[in-house]
Amino acid sequence: MSSAVVFRRLLILPPAIRRHAYSTAVASRPEVYDVVCVGGGPVGLSFVSALQSHNTTRHLKIALVDSQDLSISKSGNDGETYSNRCSSLTPAALRYLKSIGAWNKIESERLQPYHAMDVWDGVSGSKIHFEDQPGTGLVDSLLELVPGNRFQASRTRYETGSTVVATMCENSNLTGALLQRIKELKSEAGSLKVLDKTKVSSIDLGQTPTDETSPDFSQWPLLTTSAGQTLAARLLVGADGANSPVRQFADIPSPGWDYNQHGVVATLNLDRDFSSSELRTAYQRFLPTGPVALLPLPGKKASLVWSTTPQHAAALKSLDSAGFTAAVNAAFRLMPVDINFMLSSSSTSTPESELAWREPATPPSSTGLPASFPRIIGVQEGSQASFPLRLRHASTYTGHRVALIGDAAHSIHPLAGQGLNLGLADAEALAKQMVYGVEHGMDIGSCWCLDGYGSERWGKNNAMLGVVDKLGKLYSAGSGPVVWGRSLGLGLVDRLGVVKSALVGAAAGRG
Ligand SMILES: Cc1cc2nc3c(=O)[nH]c(=O)nc-3n(C[C@H](O)[C@H](O)[C@H](O)COP(=O)(O)OP(=O)(O)OC[C@H]3O[C@@H](n4cnc5c(N)ncnc54)[C@H](O)[C@@H]3O)c2cc1C
């Protein structure tokens, strides 16, 4: 056993036991489950689907608990309105969702794949254009040098990969598809209980039994729900989001920092149909206050993710739809100083009038605006919202009879669209670990079984969290040598096909 593993066990296990060993006795005898998954967000639902889809784990007794009404999770909108909570899913995430039989339940007409990304520096205007083209780039260059050797595996993976960089999908469309899949599997396997509209109100360890006939739950998490049930979990999975009650129960620290930024989201109306263009593109401009991204949805729609200061976010949310539309056009078309003034309290004119006179005086060549960039002509009513942005990373993903997945384990800045993708990869890895555990006769809640999951995912997620964090910080400089250096870097990367291919491969989840 490695010293890191020993350390983690010492770190996590004793506090949980000390804290809960003498907790209040649970009145009724608990219902016993192999797995209790708290959280029916996309990550928790995919984990449960993965367990239920696999022959080895489908007969595990599972409870899925969520405080929300999961039956209304389907997107259910018409083709004109789109949810403001969308995610760009990488090809790796799609492969996983296909493998668990959920992707064919998705409302495909509401998806929008994209094939290219235009990213530019809001201060210097330098830019980079990414396209995912199998047949070019790093892997193929290597293969030409060493045909038929160990790189063959990479070649197959690379060539069969699609040219799609990522696919925009409403979170509600994904959870709707996962719920349908769970319903289908539930009628086949019948070992899953979905407890929605049910809040987990407390989690404690059980008591040592006073007589020999009673089961010993002293090392098991016992959950009490708002409906008064008590559930005993051989393995308790926290897919319960950033404020994870499961993580708190297990006493797992989740260090990190706040970005002092809010992510403003909205569904936008465009002057152009993205799906009719040959190459569908996602756009992101780095402003010193944070990146602003326009991500394609079907038809003349797009999803906005504008990371900015809390003051700007509040100003944006207070604007009417014409003002908001003008401010978003300004975010891509004006110089940072003009955008700051437009959203500041010292501005006495409306964003529309500011944009009207400033835009003709700002040539696209000075801001780096790509020629293909559409005009935003409106915002879907009521779709503006904002979320505080922070970085958090749990110091371990596992404890005795506990595992964390998704946002419960990590929160990442949305600038690279990776949060959900990392969470889905966690769910896939934990489900695989469960298969391994069952096949090898292990106690699936034991550290022996769970450690493989933590060691597979923690390092990878930590690397991605670090890269995304540094990227955000690099672009927050508004002037000076950093701006010069990053522009030079961006220009060089744009000219180096090999490096670009490697970067786009990582963004598409092939890293
Ligand atoms: C502005 C923004 C843009 C983003 N864009 C992208 C993107 O493009 N691509 C991407 O990959 N990611 C993106 N993300 C991140 C992504 O949205 C999250 O990583 C993802 O939704 C997390 O899913 P989850 O299932 O882990 O957690 P959640 O979706 O938070 O689900 C947690 C669930 O746990 C339940 N729960 C919590 N406490 C309890 C309790 N006590 N009892 C019962 N149930 C409970 C909640 O009801 C909820 O359903 C973005 C995030 C933001 C803020």
CA-based R_g, the chain, Å: 24
Identify the segments of the chain with pLDDT beneath 50. 1-26, 134-162
HSE toward the beta carbon, residue 111, CA cutoff 13 A: 18
The preferred substitution site among 36, 48, 65, 66 for testing ligand 1, maximizing ligand atoms within 8 Å of CB, is 66
Tell me phi and psi for residue 509, to 5 degrees.
85, 20
Q: Residues 32-80: pLDDT tens digits?
A: 999 999 999 999 999 999 999 999 999 999 999 999 999 865 555 566 8
pLDDT of residue 59: 92
Q: Residues 334-382: pLDDT tens digits?
A: 999 999 999 997 778 999 999 999 999 999 988 989 988 999 999 999 9
List the one residue out of 395, 401, 396, 397 whose CA is nearest residue 448.
401
DSSP structure class, residue 29: P
pLDDT of residue 352: 96
**Topology, domain 259-387:** D-Amino Acid Oxidase; Chain A, domain 2 (3.30.9)
Closest atom of ligand 1 relative to the 263 alpha carbon: 1
Q: Which residue has its alpha carbon closest to ligand 1 atom 52?
A: 414
Q: How far is the CA of 29 from the centre of ligand 1 (A)?
A: 32
Write down the architecture of domain 3-109+167-254+394-473 according to CATH. 3-Layer(bba) Sandwich (3.50)
Ligand 1 pocket, residue 238 CB under 6 Å: no
Q: How far is the CA of 458 from the centre of ligand 1 (A)?
A: 18
Ligand 1 pocket, residue 43 CB under 6 Å: yes
SS3 label, residue 46: helix
Hey, how many other C-beta atoms are within 10 angstroms of the C-beta on 430? 29
Ligand 1 pocket, residue 65 CB under 6 Å: yes
Q: How far is the CA of 53 from the centre of ligand 1 (A)?
A: 23
Q: Which residues of 413-426 are buried (b: 16+ CB within 10 A; e: fewer)?
A: bbbbbbbbbbbbbb
Look up residue 249 and give its two tokens. 């129960």
**How is 406-474 classified by DSSP, letter by letter?**
GGGTEE--GGGS-HHHHHHHHHHHHHHHHHHHHHTT--TTSHHHHHHHHHHHHHHHHHHHHHHHHHHHH
Hey, how many other C-beta atoms are within 10 angstroms of the C-beta on 132? 24
Q: Which residue has its alpha carbon closest to ligand 1 atom 20?
A: 420
What residues contact 329, with CB distance under 8 A and at least 6 apart?
355, 359, 375, 376
pLDDT of residue 154: 33
Ligand 1 pocket, residue 166 CB under 6 Å: no
Q: Which residue has its alpha carbon closest to ligand 1 atom 11?
A: 420
Ligand 1 pocket, residue 368 CB under 6 Å: no
pLDDT of residue 262: 97
pLDDT of residue 187: 73
Which helix (H) or strand (E) is 165 found in, with range?
Answer: none
Closest atom of ligand 1 relative to the 239 alpha carbon: 26
Q: Which residues of 38-73 are buried (b: 16+ CB within 10 A; e: fewer)?
A: bbbbbbbbbbbbbbbbbeebbebebbbbbbeebeeb
**Do the beta carbons of residue 411 and residue 392 sit within 8 Å?**
yes
Q: Which residue has its alpha carbon closest to ligand 1 atom 3?
A: 414
Ligand 1 pocket, residue 423 CB under 6 Å: yes
Q: Which residue has its alpha carbon closest to ligand 1 atom 33?
A: 39
pLDDT of residue 188: 73
> What is the 3-state composition of the chain as percent helix, strand, coil, each rounded to the nearest 5?
40, 25, 35
Chain center to CA of 102: 17
Domain spans, the chain? 3-109+167-254+394-473, 116-163+479-507, 259-387
pLDDT of residue 414: 94
What residues contact 429, with CB distance under 8 A and at least 6 apart?
453, 456, 457
Pairing state between β 112-114 and 166-170: antiparallel
